[in-house]
Amino acid sequence: MSGGGMDAAQFERIDGFPYRKRVRDTMSAPAVTVPADATLGDAVEAMTTRAVSSVLVVDGTGRCVGIVTERDALRALRRDIPGVLATPAAAAMTSPVAGVAADDFLFRAIGRMDRLGVRHLPVLDAAGRPLGMLSARTLLKVRSSTALAVGDEVDVAADAAALRAAHDRLPPLAVGLLADGVPATGIAGVVSAVTRDITARAAALAIASARAEGRGEPPCRWCLLVLGSAGRGDSLLAPDQDNALILDPPASTDANAVDAWFAAFAGRLNETLAEAGIPLCKGGVMAREPAFRRTAVGWRAAVDGWIAKPDGEAVLAADIFFDFAPVAGDAALADGLRADALARAAAAPVFLRRLAADLDGAAAALGWLGRFRLVDGRVDLKRGGTLPITAGLRALALRRGIAATSTLDRLEALRAVGAVGAEDAAAIGEAYGVIVDAVMRQQIADLAAGRPAGPRVDPRALDRRSRRALRAAVGRAALMPAMVNDALAG
């Protein structure tokens, strides 16, 4: 993140809707489809019957292979060819089809539609099967300038400099979204989404470099993960790199050769991310390190090792690992690892109690008489604020086998199954939001002043009401270790 003064003026008046909402909140569903052997007449009939302006063409596995819009149909009819409606719909469709994921933020879909000049964007699952559709008509109510949609420009970035340009727009974007009333936790989700996109694009650039250097394609199935805050979706404005690789080489391959290829790939990936404004992890939690570049079998063995001997090092590794999210490669590898890791953790109460016990070492943010505990005029709102909440909810979620990684999603899932009472859940969610808001506003101020951003906040810069709210929030966070230990013991 560049440290110079940022130009926030252009971002001060932003329609926050596309940054609050996910694609799934706005898409029309289910998508209207026709089979690959359908005629153009079948496609027109489907559009007319369902009162839609496009249909998706799917193959025998349900995967989207093309799209036919009303404009495509009119263009074909204009040719006035006898029997045109009996011709294959595939002859009029656009293929391949650019799509978007249901969990993407809406701003990313807007940017992609604008870049491609399309009026319809299919919503696809990981296998390419249609879930719904976004249309320009649906998005008319979204007034945000497409110039603000940083997510899709990342997908076409040609180098680290282009990725850096997108990354450096995040602080002023946060300013505008706060001004528009978007909660800081929601902005953290946007920052995390862009961070994931940048990581995925850096992986694509690393593979392109391997081709150019004559090292060829990835030699086996693989999946790139982001860990920690980016995996949870709560990155603020000073994240470093936390990433890892899952490899799945066939038994017949040379394991050393496979690892050598991915070691070079990971080295280029981590260098590109550093040049893009996401610093190298001081703790070495990066795919270029052998400990964070393992086969699927190796990762399962690592989890078993942490559970069998939950010492300080194991707790630190598990603390960041269990928040992983796939960003590139074969997501099925991540899904399989998550299912196994969750099952192992849920059945290991001693391990989970050890995770929770580590929270007791979190530095309290409040001292005697409820005063903030300051060092150089600032209070650490990671150790004494967000950490007890995120780590505590992680331990409880693992005990219940909850797959969600987002802190607030974990909280809601725990409330839904009765693991956290409704009043406690509301209080924890409110406290978390207050703390994240305080940290984000401090980071924005520090970056604007050319200072490095971090989790430490000057409470004297807050008005009396905000200080009171923050004091109550960190007081609530301080109760988390006892609450989590009691819940695990029960």
Of 15-19, 132-136, 350-354, 376-380, least confident by mean pLDDT is 15-19
Q: What pLDDT, on a 0 to 100 scale, did the predictor assign at position 140?
A: 62
Q: Higher pLDDT residue, 362 or 92?
A: 92
Flag whether pLDDT at 281 surpasses 80: yes
Res 172 pLDDT > 70: yes
Give the per-residue pLDDT at 143. Answer: 44
Residues of the chain above pLDDT 70, percent: 92
Asked if residue 9 has pLDDT above 60, the reply is no
Burial 377-387 (b: 16+ CB within 10 A, else e): ebbbbbbbbbb
Q: Token pair of 65, please?
A: 């292979």
> Binning pLDDT at 50, 70 and 90, where does residue 25 land?
confident
3-class secondary structure, 121:
strand
Alpha helices in 156-247 (DSSP H): 160-167, 170-179, 184-212, 228-232
Please enumerate, as own/partner, the contacts of 462-467 that have beta carbons within 8 Å and a separation of 24 or more. 462/438, 466/438
Report the distance separating Cα 84 and Cα 74, nearest Å: 11
- Degrees (nearest 5) of the Cα angle 150, 153, 159? 120
Confidence of residue 4 (pLDDT cuts 50, 70, 90): very low
Report the pLDDT value the prediction gives residue 15, as an integer from 0 to 100.
53
Question: Which pLDDT value is given to residue 116?
Answer: 84
Q: How confident is the model at residue 10 (pLDDT cuts 50, 70, 90)?
A: very low
3-state helix, strand, coil in the chain (%, to 5): 55, 10, 30
pLDDT the model gives residue 396: 95
342-390 pLDDT, tens digit each: 999 999 988 998 888 767 655 678 888 788 999 999 999 999 999 999 9
Residue type at 265 in one-letter notation: F
The reported pLDDT for the residue numbered 5 is 37
Lowest mean pLDDT among 69-78, 138-147, 385-394, 406-415: 138-147
Q: How confident is the model at residue 62 (pLDDT cuts 50, 70, 90)?
A: very high
Distance CA(227)–CA(185), nearest Å, equals 18
pLDDT tens column, 175-195: 878 877 789 998 999 899 899
Whether the pLDDT of residue 13 is over 50: the answer is no
Distance CA 205, CA 77 (A): 42
The answer to whether the CB of 61 falls within 8 A of the CB of 12 is no
pLDDT at 243: 97
* The overall pTM is greater than 0.85: no
State the pLDDT confidence band at 312, using cuts at 50, 70 and 90.
confident
pLDDT higher than 70, residue 14: no
Percentage of the chain lying above the pLDDT 90 cut: 59
Q: What is the DSSP string of 70-97?
A: HHHHHHHHHT--TTGGGSBGGGTSB-S-
196: exposed, middle or buried (C-beta count within 10 Å: 0-12, 13-18, 19+)?
buried
pLDDT of residue 148: 46
- At residue 435 the predicted structure's pLDDT band, cuts being 50, 70 and 90, is very high
pLDDT, tens digit (0-9, with 9 covering 90-100), for 242-278: 999 999 999 888 989 999 999 999 999 999 999 999 9
How far is residue 449's CA from residue 265's CA, in Å, rounded to a whole number? 36
241 Rama sector, left if φ>0, alpha if ψ -120 to 50, beta otherwise: beta
Residue 473's closest CA among 399, 365, 373, 377? Answer: 365
Q: Which of 217-231, 283-297, 362-376, 412-426 has the lowest mean pLDDT?
A: 362-376
In this prediction, residue 358 carries a pLDDT of: 65
Is the predicted pLDDT of residue 395 greater than 80, yes or no? yes
Would you place residue 463 in the very low, low, confident or very high pLDDT band (cuts 50, 70, 90)?
A: very high
Backbone angles phi, psi at 307, to 5 degrees: -70, -40
More confidently predicted of 427 and 74: 427
Model confidence at 142: pLDDT above 70: no
52-66, 98-112, 459-473: segment of lowest average pLDDT:
98-112
pLDDT at position 115, please?
81
Assess whether pLDDT exceeds 70 at residue 141. Answer: no
